Amino acid sequence: MTTGELNQPTESVTHAKGLIDPIQMASPIPFAPRGESSVLSTVESALQRGVHADDYCLPGLVDNTEGLANAVAALGSLGGTVLLGARTYVASTLVIPRGVIIQGENPMVSILLQQAGSNVDFVTSENFSALTGTGLPVATDNRVPSWFGLRNVQVNGNRENNSTGRACCFYGAYTIIDHVVIGWGASGGLYTEYATNVSSNASVADQEEGFVRDLIVRDNNGDGWINRGPHNVHMDNITGMRNEGWNYFSEVLDGTYNGAPTYCTILHCFQGDMSWTSASGRKRKNIYIGTNGSFGQITVDGGSLEINAGSCLISNLNQYFGGQGGDMVTISGSRNMIGVWRGLARAAGSTATPDAWVARITGDFNSIGVMQIYDNSEAAAFSNGVFISGVGTAIADLFIRGTKTGLKVTSSRNRIRGWVANTLVSGFEYITPVDSHGGRNRISLDISPSSGAYTTGNAPITNSDRFNIEGTGLSGGAKSTVLSKEQSTLAGDLDTVGVKTMVIPHGLLYTPRRQDIKQSLTGLTVKTLDLGFMRCSVVDATNITIEYRVITPAVGGVMSIAVQTTAQ
């Protein structure tokens, strides 16, 4: 096809040095051919849905805003790809329409740099300012774009020379962000948003999912990536670092937006909240998950992670060196499931806050498969282990080592099994729940402290909680919630009639009730002995007192009595 076949005689195009929009048949768009043999510098290239920005952004120009806009416009309404060279393109704004991909050679050499003094959002999707916050989908409003994005490029918001404005803001369906660095935004890095109520998927344009792959958000004032959609986006290899706010922040607003990914292979964030100090009076930010999603691995390196969402599926949670300004990981959402969780507390010699918890679970019905928690302090434990105040937490295999208090539970219907080692204050602390479930906890622990106590707080609730705990290693000897012990009478106790007593040290972690003690006569020397009764008369924190009445003495005889309790 020739230029003349499209619109007008060929010679008119040659004189005008213009590119005809083959879709809109608009006026020629000025451009500077890079060579007669350059395929991307011809009208035919537009028909192939690709143009090169260098045909519109002349070398030496201080501002490429108009040139980039002309390159995008040259694609027409069907969209296509604007190719960037190995250079820096300075512009105040760049609008990406539906169906258009801005593609560089790689993020180290193809750079979009915001003009100093622009003070607006830099790279945006079409109609962004009109659509953000509306909750409108593609199917019901033709202003909403889809199938657009960035590939192999660096977006630099030039925060040193701008006082406001985000580096990149997208509203629309099927956003594409592939092998991209977004950073140095004056008010934030990446912002994405789309509707929650997608009324139709009859058209390919309605497809909402999209993908974000090999993305780095870094060095932004404000948050690295605020994810408010599209819902069901696929995320692969996301890194957030050196941002002044949260490195990654997702959230949902019913009827308006939802940043819930279908699946994220790995989310790795570190060095967030860069201006935080111990005097900030709050936790240092890193990752905030405010809506549901599935994750292969979340790595939170320093700062804090909060999962305020419900129904997240997380295969691996890898946690390093948190505890600056407060608890390291907080699960305030409910019904989340985590396969493997490894938590390492920050050492005491750093900016960590004393007595912070490595993990605090306040939401209900959260489940964890394998959980290992460590304190990294060299001399003495500085942090606490796991605090559970949410109802119905299940931890199948828990290991806590080297904290002050290992495990603390203040809620009901929790099911926890594990080993707590080398604690300094308490292996397990239990506070009687005040929720409506009335206990019914099932706690099974092996506790081996370095100092302090095996357990502290309240006893299990009778006829409700079931604790099976064994403590070993402290100077007072081993203690347990289960007792099975046999003791013999002293010489002469059976020589006379009357009421006699036997005091048996029980070594129990919690003082049982009298009715919880089962006693039985297990042995007697070859004598005849008549007993009137045998009963448990007193139980205190140390001893069980068995009272019995001798009716017919067995002079010189000795009998043995066994006492048992079941797990409380």
- Provide the residue-wise pLDDT of the chain in tens; the chain has 568 residues: 333 333 333 333 333 333 333 334 334 445 555 554 444 444 444 445 799 999 999 888 899 999 999 999 999 999 999 999 999 999 999 999 999 999 999 999 999 999 999 999 999 999 999 999 999 999 999 999 999 999 999 999 999 999 999 999 999 999 999 999 999 999 999 999 999 988 777 888 888 889 999 999 999 999 999 999 999 999 999 999 999 999 999 999 999 999 999 999 999 999 999 999 988 999 999 999 999 999 999 999 999 999 999 999 999 999 988 888 999 999 999 999 999 999 988 766 667 788 899 999 999 999 999 999 988 766 567 889 999 999 999 999 999 999 999 999 999 999 999 999 999 999 999 999 999 999 999 999 999 999 999 999 999 999 999 999 999 999 989 999 999 999 998 888 999 999 999 999 999 999 999 888 999 988 887 788 899 999 999 999 999 999 999 999 999 889 999 999 875 6
Give the containing element (helix H, strand E) for 103. strand 100-103
Tell me the domain boundaries of the chain: 483-565
> Residue 255: which residues within 8 A CB-CB, separation 6 or more?
135, 196, 197
CATH of domain 483-565: 2.60.40
Phi, psi (5° rounding) for residue 455? -135, 155
Q: Mind listing the pLDDT tens digit for each residue in 183-238?
A: 999 999 999 999 998 877 788 888 888 999 999 999 999 999 999 999 999 999 99
Closest to 101 measured CA to CA, from 210, 188, 21, 233: 210
Closest to 252 measured CA to CA, from 308, 211, 302, 328: 308
Q: CB atoms < 10 A from the CB of 12, how many?
A: 14
Distance set, CA 502 to CA 379, 486, 528 (Å): 46, 11, 19
Strand partners, 228: 193
Cα(335)–Cα(331) distance, integer angstroms: 10
534: three-class secondary structure by DSSP:
strand
Let me know: does 544 contact 504? Beta carbons within 8 Å. Answer: yes
> Residue 135: which residues within 8 A CB-CB, separation 6 or more?
195, 196, 197, 255, 256, 257
Closest to 291 measured CA to CA, from 319, 318, 312: 312
Q: Mind listing the pLDDT tens digit for each residue in 311-354?
A: 999 999 999 888 889 999 999 999 999 999 999 887 666 677 88
